[in-house]
Amino acid sequence: MKPRDLSDLAFRNLREAVLRNSLTTLGVAVGVASLVAMLSLGVGLQELASKRLSQSGLFDTIFVTPKNNFRGMARPQREMQSDKPPRTLDEDARKEIEKLPNVIEVYPQVRFFTEVRFNNKPFATVVAGMPDSSRNSGSFDGMQGNFFSSPTANEAILQIEFAKDLSEKPTSLIGQDLVLRYAERQALPGNDDSANPSGEPSGGFSVVPKELRLKIVGIVETEPAAGYGGYGNARLLMPLSTASTLRAAQVNDLRDIVRDNTANKTTYASLSVRAKSPSQVETLEASIKAMGFAAFSLLDASKSLRTFFSVFDLLLGIFGSLALAVATLGIVNTLVMAILERRREIGVLKALGAADSDVQQLFFVEAGVMGLFGGFFGVLFGWLLGRAITFGTNVYLKRQNLNPIELSSVPWWLVIAAIVFAVLVSLAAGLYPASRAAKLNPVDALRYE
Amino acid sequence: MPNADTAIQLEHVSRQYIMGGATIQAVNDVSLAVARNEFLALLGSSGSGKSTLLNLIAGLDRPTTGSIVAQGQNLAELTSIELARYRCNTIGMIFQSFNLLPRMTLEENIELPLRLAEVEREERPGRVHEALERVRLTHRLGHRPAELSGGEQQRVAIARALVNRPKILLADEPTGNLDSVTGEAILSLLRDVQRQLGMTIVMVTHERLLAERYADRLAIMGDGRLLSSSEIAKEAAR
């Protein structure tokens, strides 16, 4: 029989016992709905966690430091085992890293200790320079106020806890000015070799206190890339270009003056390298290490997170599938009943020329159609269930004065996978009834009353 | 060996069943030839094996021993799929209880063998109409079987059996559920169809008078065997 005739007959048969078939389909739908609702929660939680982490800018960023930098993050002992000689992290190195494939940008970490004066009161904190690209990275989504008006603006974004230190009403700070007191580095006149017969290393700098007035333009929950690659959490953020021009004394400055090869070059304590996507971080990290630098990313942490959520989704999927397993028994039951009721009809079909395979396919298509409709409505019910859970959770969070969250998520792959799974499970459930119907002896079937 | 004029040739056909440990000989060493365009009536008492023999000719069942050749095809050599194709294209069947599918309209019932034979959809309405015209029921196209009388239902069953233009029509007690007038009308219709289309008909019946009037030849069965002329005379004398 041609596929269209087969489906015509299958739909006709399903319509004839509409109540029973609808209930069976509903059973499949409930099974799929429980599966989809469970997985949508798993996916939603995973997306929530990933979003928070990606907003922190950690997963597409590699932190590069010189190998001889004595920082715990750079894992100096392991790096020292490499054959490559340690290299200086200077402007040449920055340009070299920038030329590597899949690199969006390479910017230095400008991070220094400072004293902020606001309303004539001093507040000690760490300042960090933010590259202009972080405007679109999602890190500042949901911030109060605005991002910097230009890459060189004398503007500041405060971390919420710091803002609370400054004022009881943090939002009222937006638009106000504060004064940044920092230590500016000023190079001492270098001694050439003839004037330096002792052979002492040349260079060195003096530190001069300076002030800069900054306008507060925004308040953010957390600092993007909090803490990694720098020295403690920055609570005041300013444009990277503005921060760089300040020539504020940083921790590595003290280290650099004791080395004789960096006297006339700008060196960096660390560089942040942004990859095009997290999937390219691993290769990029290896390339940077091969250049003779220490590199660190949170890829391992990301992998653990993915493993955790895969197991979590699997468990949710297993529990969700239990209802679907029960629903498949409903399909088996419905089709076995249909064979009993349509025994004579099967005999007639065979007498008129239907092959065993025609009868088998007819029952298969009926099972598949129930699975298809069950899958479709199941996805719809599952999505509604997820929305209801999200709504209920957000009502609770609102009462607790917490921000609403998107708890469930039904991505396209889940919609398609759930429908395909429902059809496959239904076909498997139709396997026994279909083969039983196909094997019916037509002579016995025609005699059946 | 069947000659060109033979539509159906049965050679020493037997069919045994095992039921509850006992062997039942439903058909016992039957040899029979049915000529092309012949209307053969197969008579016999209940349990004589005539319906079993009809099912064997229809390819719904296979003989335990012996061979059946129909329209040049040795049924024993056909696979189950080939046998289904044989039933679809070579054979038309009508039954005592009509066996129309109650939830389908007459049109859909008659279209069913065309679906199974994978006839193109555009060709089907014409074929259905032609078959219904032959049984004079074109005005009932959209009706369901339950809305028809017994005689009309049997006419629809005949239309369904004819729609694939088979060479052989097998009728299992076609008048069994009908009154005598309607039964006669059905047999008259069958004979007309047989003459118009040049078909071979094998009809199982227990109504000897009707069979004698409409069939070209009678074959009588008893205890699974075909009775000889002398046995028929003895039976008649009893």
Q: For residue A422, what are the contacts with CB-CB under 8 A and spacing of at least 6?
A: A28, A31, A32, A324, A371, A372, A374, A375, A378
Domain presence at residue B130: yes
* Gap from A358 CA to chain B (nearest CA, Å): 8
Domain presence at residue B83: no
Q: Which of A374, A56, A439 is nearest to A220 (CA)?
A: A56
* Tokens coding A184: 């500016």
Q: What sections of A119-201 are H helices per DSSP?
A: 160-166
Chain B residues within 8 A of A345 when measuring between CB atoms: 101
pLDDT tens column, B106-145:
999 999 999 999 999 999 999 999 999 888 888 888 899 9
Domain presence at residue B57: no
pLDDT tens column, A391-443:
999 899 888 877 788 888 888 988 999 899 889 988 888 888 888 889 888 88
8-state DSSP, A157: E
Domain tally, chain A: 2
* Phi, psi (degrees; rounded to nearest 5) at A128: -130, 145
Q: What sections of A85-205 are H helices per DSSP?
A: 91-98, 160-166
Domain presence at residue A277: no
Domain presence at residue A78: no
What is the model's pLDDT at position A189?
65
Domain presence at residue A99: no
According to DSSP, the residues that pair with A66 across neighbouring strands are A293
Contact across the interface for A442 and B101, Cβ inside 8 Å: no
Domain presence at residue A142: yes
Domain presence at residue B86: no
Domain final residue pick, A188, A212, A238: A238
Domain presence at residue A107: no
Cβ of B102: how many Cβ atoms within 10 Å? 11
- Find the CB nearest A354 among B58, B116, B164: B116
Chain B residues within 8 A of A348 when measuring between CB atoms: 99, 101
Domain final residue pick, A187, A211, A238: A238
Domain presence at residue B209: no
Report ipTM (2 d.p.): 0.91
- Find the CB nearest A353 among B55, B117, B121: B117
Is the pLDDT at A241 greater than 90, yes or no?
Answer: no
* Tokens coding A299: 């890829």
> In angstroms, rounded to a whole number, what is the distance separating the alpha carbons of residues A191 and A197?
10
Domain tally, chain B: 1
> In angstroms, rounded to a whole number, what is the distance separating the alpha carbons of residues B50 and B41?
10
Full residue range of the structural domain in which residue A418 is found: 3-54+305-447
Cβ of B149: how many Cβ atoms within 10 Å? 11
For chain A, say whether B229 makes contact (Cβ under 8 Å).
no
Q: Which of A80, A13, A131, A63 is nearest to A299 (CA)?
A: A63
Cβ of B22: how many Cβ atoms within 10 Å? 7
Domain final residue pick, A186, A221, A238: A238
* Gap from A428 CA to chain B (nearest CA, Å): 24
Average pLDDT, chain A: 80
As a whole-number percent, the residues of chain A with pLDDT over 70 amount to: 82
Domain presence at residue A225: yes
Domain presence at residue B8: no
Q: Which of B50, B99, B71 is nearest to B207 (CA)?
A: B50
Instruction: Give the residue from chain A lying closest to B58, CA to CA.
Output: A351
Question: What's the sign of the alpha-carbon dihedral A116, A120, A121, A122?
Answer: positive
Q: At what angle do helices A299-341 and A412-438 cross, to 10 degrees?
A: 30
**What type of residue is A270?**
S
Once rounded to an integer, what is the mean pLDDT over residues A161-167? 89
For chain B, say whether A437 makes contact (Cβ under 8 Å).
no
Full residue range of the structural domain in which residue B115 is found: 97-164
Looking at the fold, whether A28 and A123 belong to one and the same domain comes out as no
How long a stretch of residues is chain B?
238
According to DSSP, the residues that pair with A103 across neighbouring strands are A275
Once rounded to an integer, what is the mean pLDDT over residues B212-223? 91
